[in-house]
Structure 1
Amino acid sequence: MHTRASRYVSLLTGLALFAAALWGVSGCGGSQKGADGGTDVLTVRARQVAAAWGGSTAAAAWRAGYYPMGETVQLPRGGLHGRADQRAYEDQNFVLRGTLPGSGPKDGQVTWAGGTSLTRPLVGALESYKTLAGTRVGGKPHLAVTRAKLGEMSVATSRGPATVPAWLFTLDGYASPFKQAAVLPSKLPQPPIRSSRGVPGYPINRLVGIAADGRSVTVVALHGVCDEGAVVDVLESKGSIVLSASVKNQKHDGNCTKQAKMQRVTVQLERSMGDRVLLDARTGQPVTYKGLRGTSPSRS
């Protein structure tokens, strides 16, 4: 959920213990050689991350929390009316033409199939509206909010689809509401392994999509101006999916500038993602969902 600070994102054991911890970890895509020449460095690091997370306190916390893995907003039924309204939404150009509810319940229930639930703090209507409106005031085109009420919506999470409290904003000219989740995500668990600066490439920037069948994930990876794009390798285990980003055919000459480009990359999985945690090999942290804004066209 895009609210508050998130707008809301060493394994040092004996060789025998390390080998035992890696039991059952398999890689998709062969030897996982880095496209920029990182070769086995990426593979070793990915295995370390998978082993560190396996059976860890962090993994247990991840499976017990509320972590959105898809959009926490829902457009009015039928979508927005034309390019002007779409542009207003993308530019976060909203105006308030009414009074929003004041104080309400402090907490709400996130509910999953089977009746499992979790109590999480709620964001107020005004705070939720401010995350939609951004910093722009007025201007055209814009979307006008006339009122809001507390309701609910469905959100894709790390534990499957969940029903969560949501603010239902009435937009001028629309018969159905614009919904935004009102419940705060759980705090990300402390990774059981430290970030590694010795791994080539960049961290995965964000998750932007999971296939309906769970057999692929789309992420944003970073690359430079003097290479042929980003490559993402995957190491799958029973409890995790570790992604390692590298670049293809990187040039090392004096004319390259230090800037990063965003690129969408779709990664195929051997089996459905399920409730496995998606991890970045370089940082050792979960790869969280942040949406599509600011990304370049997809390359698989």
Structure 2
Amino acid sequence: MMRRVLPWITAAALLGGCGSGGNSPAVDPLDGLRQQAGDALARYDQAFRAAGGAPFVPVGELTRQLGDWEPANGSYKESLSAGRVEAAATLPEAPKSAGTIVWANGTRHEVPMISADGALAQLRAAGTGDCSGCAPLKLAGARLTTMTVPTTRGPATAPAWEYTLDRTAVRLARVAVDPSAIVRVTPPPPDADHPHEGLAIESATTTTAGSELTLTFTGAPGPASKPCGADYGAEAVETDQAVVVIVIEYRHAKDEACPDVGAQRSTTVELSQPLGERAVLEVTQGLPVALTIAG
């Protein structure tokens, strides 16, 4: 079931009330964003069901670089970005078939694990593949460890493979969870005729029992009372699995010539019920954002 929270609908309706003719019906400028939100929720629901309703929804990349490249190894950055990483020795199997995800509040979830070789294959697949002529990184070995991963339920500790590399002190870490147990959302392909609109939120904060979400995003540096400034509200489109947040902008004036300078801004939205274990998604591509649970 889809629910909407419309805390700023009066202002939005006023913005959409200027038709080309006196009897033209008002067109709400948020309708397109609401459609994007509905599409994003449908994609998330599909990914959620494909993962068997798994609660592990990581945000961002699942590979981490540990340490900095030495000056002589600067080209290795391109190799890693392209996924050009090869094993120079036999890599170990997982010592057990299942591992445990642990969240900051003590919640635990058992997940199937993959071998060091399987995690390496995932690392390669995440690369761009675009690295003409760059030398591949050579893995010297691997050990099972853990790493902290931002998720839609706050930071979580997950099993991970840590790889050592030839000719550098840099190490690589990759989550050791089987992809079948990870909710991964695929954004829609680019569409020049129907570009994705809206402001993408970057993170969200809530409390354990509260229904208010505080959202951070990049916006105008100043308030709407100043030239080139803006105020912000928000609307949430909700299902039982996720929430998509639409940020609503109220600019100082239309068509101002303003410098291309952004600042971190925030706003809040009231949900119809506490967030619980639902994911928070940004509206432009429907990707999950990191959540902080404060208290």
Q: Shorter-normalised TM-score: what interval?
A: 0.5 to 0.7
1:128 maps onto 2:125 in alignment: no
Shift of 1:114: 2.6
Gap change, CA 1:234 and 1:266, over 3 Å in 2: farther
In 1, Cα distance between the equivalents of 2:37 and 2:121? Answer: 42
The correspondence for 1:240, drawn from 219, 237, 243, is 243
1:27–1:121 Cα change, 3 Å: farther
CA contact (8 A) 2:282 2:288 kept: no
Matched, 1:159 2:153: yes
Counterpart of 1:93, as a letter, is R
Instruction: Give per-residue Cα distances to partners, 1:151-193, cap 9 Å, x unaligned.
Output: 1000000000000000011112333531011114646599xxx
Matched pairs, number: 218
Structure 1 residue 99: Cα displacement: 1.5
- CA-to-partner distance for each residue in 1:226-275, whole Å, 9 max, x for gaps? xxxxxxx9524797333489xxxxxxxxxxxxxxxxxxx99954149987
Shift of 1:130: 1.8
| Structure 2 CA distance for aligned equivalents of residues 101 and 266 of structure 1 | 46
Query: SS state of the match for residue 150, structure 2?
Result: strand
2:6 & 2:53 partners in 1: Cα distance? 19
- Which moved further from structure 2: 180-189 or 107-116? 180-189
Q: CA deviation at 1:47?
A: 8.4
Q: Could you say what secondary structure the match of 2:32 adopts?
A: helix
TM-score, normalization by structure 1: 0.53
Give the conservation status (yes or no) of the 8 Å contact 1:31–1:43: no
For residues 189 and 70 of structure 1, the distance between their equivalents in structure 2, rounded to whole angstroms, comes to 10
2:168 maps to 1:177: no
Deviations 1:60-114 (A, max 9, x none): x99970100133222122x233430111111212222111013532211000113
Can you give the 5+ residue segments of structure 1 that lack an aligned partner in the other structure?
1-9, 12-20, 53-57, 219-232, 246-264, 290-300
Per-residue deviation at 1:202? Answer: 4.2
Residue 26 of structure 1 aligns with an amino acid whose one-letter code is: P
The equivalent of 1:26 in structure 2 is: 7
1:203 Cα deviation (Å)? 5.1
Distance 1:51 1:166, change over 3 A: closer
What is the CA-CA distance between 1:26 and the residue it aligns to?
A: 2.7
Aligned to 1:201: 194
1:95 and 1:48 mapped to 2: Cα distance?
41
**Match for residue 270 of structure 1?**
267
1:187-244 CA distances to partner (integer Å, 9 max, x unpaired)? 6599xxxx9xxxx93458xx895489974257xxxxxxxxxxxxxx952479733348
Range with bigger deviation, 170-179 or 116-125: 170-179
The answer to whether the 8 Å contact 2:164/2:170 transfers is yes
The residue identity in structure 1 corresponding to 2:194 is G
Q: What is the aligned partner in structure 1 of residue 45 from structure 2? A: none
Deviation, structure 1 residue 141: 2.6
2:60 is matched with which residue?
70
User: What is the CA–CA distance in structure 1 between the aligned matches of 2:75 and 2:107, rounded to whole Å?
Assistant: 41
Equivalent residue of 2:100, what SS? Answer: strand
TM-score by length of 2: 0.54
Say what the alpha-carbon RMSD is for the aligned residues.
5.1
* Alignment equivalent of 2:135, drawn from 124, 130, 141: 141
Asked if the contact 2:94–2:114 (Cα under 8 Å) also holds between the matched residues in 1, the reply is: no
